[in-house]
Chains A and B, each alone.
Chain A
C-alpha cells in the first residue's frame, strides 16, 4: 500500500498558545484514520491545518508525494485537492442540493457536471431531493448532500469533522456503516475527527489518540484497545476501570486481593512512593465466593451484556480503596449488596498517573 499523507514534526501556535506539537503521522492510500481525543485536544486544528485553513508554525505536510505545506511554502486550501465534510455540513443555504453538489466542479463541461452530479446523487440516494434547499432536508439527508458535494471534485483525501455529531443516536450507527462502505467502495482515503470512542472503533481502519496537541498513540483499533500506551489513552477510550494497586514486600496488592504472577520488573522506573493503577477490563473480574466480601454494589443498570454494576471497595486502606469498578453479570444483585470479587490473572496493564 502506498503512503498518501505524511505529516512530519508539525507545530501550530496561535496567539502564543501551542495547539499542536511535533505531530508525526502517516496514512496509507485507501485507509480511514480516526482522530480521537477529548474536547480541545487539537483534533479539529490538525484537520484544519491539513486542509489549509490554519498555517503551521513548523513542520511539513506531503500529500500524494506533493509538498503542500512546509516552512517556506504553504499551498492555499483551494489547491490541495482535499475535500472536507464539516460538523454542521456547511451546505450553501442559497443553493439547491444539485447546485451544492455541482459547486466544486464548475471547471467541467455542463455534460460532465451533470453526469457526475447524477452519479453521486444516485449513489447517495438523493435523486428525489435534487431541487430542494438545505433547510428543507433532514439531518441525515443534509449529511449525504455534504458527502456528495465533497466527493464531486474527486479529492485525494477526505476530511470529516465530527460528521455524526448532529445525527440522531438511532440512525448514527447505520449511517456510519453506510458511509464507511461508500468510502471503501470509492477507495477514498479519509481522516475523521470524533470524541466518541464507539464511532472510531466502528468507522476507522487506524486510530490516533490525541491529548493536549500531541498524538499519544496511533495504530489499528484492535492494537490500541489491547495495548494502550498510556493511562490517558486507556482512560479516554474507557477500556476498563482503574483499580489502585500497591507494592507490599515483593507482592502487588489491590483491594480485591494480590495480583498473582506479576513482577514489578515489568514496570519501567518503578518508584516505591508512586501511586499505580491497574487497568481492569470487566472480563478479568470474577466472583470469589470463598473470600470475605470486598466490594459493595452502589449502582445497577441493565445493558445488552446483562446487568452492569458499579462497585465501591470495602477496604480501609486509603491507597487501595476505590469508588467505581465496572462489573457485568447475568446474576441479579441488589444495590447495597456486598460481594466478594477476585482479579483473574492476565497480562496486567499498570500505569502511574
Chain B
C-alpha cells in the first residue's frame, strides 16, 4: 500500500494538491493540535489534583476520571449533537423560556464544527493523559520535592520547578497517544462532516473507487503517524533516563473550602461530560425506544462482536506472551526486535490498516483460487479477504502493542533470579514456564486479554471496511444507525459497548 502510495503518478498528486489535499491536511493538523491541547487541558490538572491534593471525593474521582475511556467518541459526538442541536432539548428549552422564535434571535454554539469534534474527541481521550501523568506524579521520588523545599522553594514553586519538568516525558507520551488516536479517528469527524485524511481515504476508496488516490492519502497520513511515533519514542527514551524510585508516601496538599469546590467541580464536570451525561442519554433512549426486534438484531451483531473480539484477544495475547518470554529468556541482542516490530501496528489507523489488509489478502485470494482451478478443485472464494480472518488479522496487528506492553510490565516484575532458579533445582525450561512464570503472569495475561477484547469491541474503521457481506458487529451497526440519525434503535447495543469498556477499568481499579 505504501509502495503504491509513494509511487503514485505525479499528475494525480498534483491534482490532489490543487483540489482537496490542502484542506484535508490542514483539517487533520488543526484537529490534532486542538484535541491534544484540550486533552492536556483536561487531563493534566486532574492528574495534579488527584495525585497532589486532598480534594473532596478524591478516592472516587481517582477512578471515575478513567470512565470516559469506555465511551466511543462517535457515540459522545452523536449524543451531544442530539442534545445541543437546534432541534435538541437544550435549545428548545431556551427558546421556550426566553420566547425566542428563530435562530436569528439568539446565538448558540454550533457543535458540528472542527472545534466541536475536537472537544468530543478530547472528552474521551483525556483519561490517557490523566492516567499517565497521575502515575508519573505518584511515582516521583518525594525526596526531590523535599530537597527543593530545603533549598528555599515553596510547595507550589517546587512543584513547578521539579515535579512538572520530571513529568514532562509522561505528558509527551500521553500527548502522542492522543495524537495517534485522533489521527486514527474516522467516525466522529465523518459525523461532524469535517474532512480529514481518514474520511478522505474512506470516501475516495469506497465512494469513488479510486484506490491509487486512497493509497496516496494513506501514505500522507502515515507520515503524520510516523511523526507521532517518533515523538512518543523520544519521550519514552527521556522517561527511561529519569528513572525515579517510586514513592507512594505523598504528602497531600491540604485545600481550603474554596479550592475544594473549584478542583472537585472541575473533575466532576469532566466525569459528567465524558461519561455520566452520555450514559444517561443512552439509558433514556434505551428505555424509550428499545423493542424485542432490536434486541434480536442486537443479539446477532453482539455475537459477531464477541466472536471477533474473543479471537482477536486470544491470538494477540498468545503472540504477545510468546514474544515477551522470548525477549526475556533469549540471550541474543536481536531478541527484542520481534517484540518491537509486532508493536508498531498500534500507530496505524484502522482505515489504513484495512487498506493494507485488502491490498495483501485480495491478490493472495486470487492466487489461491487460480491454484485451486489449476489443480481442478473448486475455488475457495475470498477465503482471506472475504471472511473475518482479515478483520481478526488487522485487529491483532493493531492491538498487539497493548498486549505486549501489559505482559511485558508483568514480566519486568519477575526477578531475573527466578529465570535461573528452576534450572538450579533440576527443572527444565518448559516446566519452569508452566510452574513459575505463567502463574506469576496470570493477572497480566488476563488484563492484556481484557484490554484487547474491549478495544476490539470498540474498533470501527477496520471492521467497517473489512467485514464480509451481511456481517455486522455492534460498532458497525451503531455507526450505520448514527449515519442514519437513528441511534435510538441501537441504544441498547451502544450501552453494551460501554459496559464492556468498563470491565478493564473496574478490574484494574479493584486490583489497584
Compute how far the CA of A272 lies from the CA of B152 in the bound complex, rounded to whole angstroms.
59
Compute how far the CA of A76 lies from the CA of B144 in the bound complex, rounded to whole angstroms.
16
Cβ-based interface call for B148 (8 A):
yes
* Contact present for B162 and A92 (CB under 8 Å): yes
Contacts of B15 in A (CB 8 A): none
Query: Which of A90, A107, A133 is close to B152, meaning CB atoms less than 8 Å apart?
Result: A107
Contacts of A290 in B (CB 8 A): none
Given A76-B154, A92-B162, A135 and B149 contact (CB-CB distance below 8 Å): no
Cβ-based interface call for B244 (8 A):
yes
Compute how far the CA of A48 lies from the CA of B155 in the bound complex, rounded to whole angstroms.
16
- What would 9 more interface pairs be, CB under 8 Å, given A77-B150, A104-B153, A153-B151? A51-B150, A78-B158, A86-B143, A93-B242, A93-B244, A94-B166, A94-B242, A103-B161, A150-B150
Q: Separation in Å of the B291 CB from the closest CB of chain A?
A: 57
Query: Which of A52, A53, A92, A107 is close to B144, meaning CB atoms less than 8 Å apart?
Result: A92
The chain B residues found within 8 Å of chain A, CB to CB, are 141, 143-144, 146-155, 158, 161-162, 165-166, 168, 241-245, 251
Q: How many A-B residue pairs have CB under 8 A?
A: 74
Compute how far the CA of A128 lies from the CA of B496 in the bound complex, rounded to whole angstroms.
63
Closest to A82 in B: B150
- State which residues 127-160 of A face B: CB under 8 Å: 133, 135, 149-150, 152-153, 155, 159
Query: Which of A76, A86, A133, A152 is close to B147, meaning CB atoms less than 8 Å apart?
Result: A86
State the 9 A-B residue pairs at the shortest beta-carbon distance, nearest first: A104-B151, A90-B143, A90-B147, A77-B149, A84-B150, A93-B242, A86-B143, A78-B149, A78-B152
Q: Separation in Å of the A299 CB from the closest CB of chain B?
A: 29
Contacts of A94 in B (CB 8 A): 165-166, 168, 242
Cβ-based interface call for A83 (8 A):
yes
Query: Which of A82, A88, A104 is close to B245, meaning CB atoms less than 8 Å apart?
Result: A88
Contacts of A82 in B (CB 8 A): 150
* Contact present for A84 and B147 (CB under 8 Å): yes
* Contact present for A92 and B146 (CB under 8 Å): no
* Contact present for A135 and B243 (CB under 8 Å): yes
The chain A residues found within 8 Å of chain B, CB to CB, are 48, 51-53, 76-79, 82-84, 86-88, 90-94, 103-104, 107, 133, 135, 149-150, 152-153, 155, 159
* Contact present for B144 and A90 (CB under 8 Å): yes
Q: What are 12 A-B interface contacts by the 8 Å CB criterion?
A: A76-B149, A78-B152, A83-B150, A83-B151, A88-B143, A93-B166, A103-B161, A104-B150, A133-B241, A150-B150, A153-B151, A159-B150
Contacts of A153 in B (CB 8 A): 151-152
Given A135-B241, A135-B243, A92 and B154 contact (CB-CB distance below 8 Å): no
Q: Separation in Å of the B82 CB from the closest CB of chain A?
A: 47
Compute how far the CA of A225 lies from the CA of B146 in the bound complex, rounded to whole angstroms.
34
Query: Which of B141, B151, B154, B242 is close to A103, meaning CB atoms less than 8 Å apart?
Result: B151
Compute how far the CA of A155 lies from the CA of B162 in the bound complex, rounded to whole angstroms.
21
* Contact present for B154 and A53 (CB under 8 Å): no
* Contact present for B152 and A104 (CB under 8 Å): yes
* Contact present for B165 and A88 (CB under 8 Å): no
Contacts of A91 in B (CB 8 A): 147
Most buried by B among A52, A90, A91: A90
* Contact present for A78 and B153 (CB under 8 Å): yes
Contacts of A88 in B (CB 8 A): 141, 143, 245
Compute how far the CA of A91 lies from the CA of B241 in the bound complex, rounded to whole angstroms.
13
Compute how far the CA of A11 lies from the CA of B143 in the bound complex, rounded to whole angstroms.
23
Given A93-B242, A94-B165, A94-B242, A84 and B154 contact (CB-CB distance below 8 Å): no
Contacts of B144 in A (CB 8 A): 90, 92
Contacts of A107 in B (CB 8 A): 152
Given A94-B165, A135-B241, A135-B243, A149 and B143 contact (CB-CB distance below 8 Å): no
Closest to B162 in A: A92
Closest to A133 in B: B241
Closest to A149 in B: B151
* Contact present for B146 and A53 (CB under 8 Å): yes
Given A88-B245, A90-B141, A93-B166, A78 and B146 contact (CB-CB distance below 8 Å): no
Compute how far the CA of A79 lies from the CA of B245 in the bound complex, rounded to whole angstroms.
27
* Contact present for A86 and B151 (CB under 8 Å): no
* Contact present for B148 and A103 (CB under 8 Å): yes
Contacts of A84 in B (CB 8 A): 146-147, 150
* Contact present for B146 and A90 (CB under 8 Å): yes
Contacts of B147 in A (CB 8 A): 84, 86, 90-92, 149
Contacts of A159 in B (CB 8 A): 150
Closest to B169 in A: A94
Contacts of A155 in B (CB 8 A): 150
* Contact present for B242 and A78 (CB under 8 Å): no
Closest to A80 in B: B150
Query: Which of B148, B149, B150, B241 is close to A93, meaning CB atoms less than 8 Å apart?
Result: B241
Q: Separation in Å of the B507 CB from the closest CB of chain A?
A: 30
Most buried by B among A83, A152, A159: A83
Contacts of A133 in B (CB 8 A): 241
Compute how far the CA of A103 lies from the CA of B165 in the bound complex, rounded to whole angstroms.
14
Compute how far the CA of A153 lies from the CA of B151 in the bound complex, rounded to whole angstroms.
7
Contacts of B161 in A (CB 8 A): 103
Q: Separation in Å of the B142 CB from the closest CB of chain A?
A: 9
Q: Separation in Å of the A327 CB from the closest CB of chain B?
A: 39
Closest to A161 in B: B143
Closest to A77 in B: B149
Contacts of B168 in A (CB 8 A): 94
Contacts of A150 in B (CB 8 A): 150-151
Compute how far the CA of A31 lies from the CA of B308 in the bound complex, rounded to whole angstroms.
74
Q: Separation in Å of the A192 CB from the closest CB of chain B?
A: 15
Q: Separation in Å of the B166 CB from the closest CB of chain A?
A: 6
Contacts of B242 in A (CB 8 A): 93-94
Contacts of B146 in A (CB 8 A): 48, 51, 53, 77, 84, 86, 90
Compute how far the CA of A86 lies from the CA of B168 in the bound complex, rounded to whole angstroms.
24
Compute how far the CA of A54 lies from the CA of B141 in the bound complex, rounded to whole angstroms.
17
Contacts of A53 in B (CB 8 A): 146, 149, 251
Compute how far the CA of A103 lies from the CA of B151 in the bound complex, rounded to whole angstroms.
7
Compute how far the CA of A150 lies from the CA of B144 in the bound complex, rounded to whole angstroms.
13
Compute how far the CA of A83 lies from the CA of B147 in the bound complex, rounded to whole angstroms.
8
Closest to B141 in A: A90
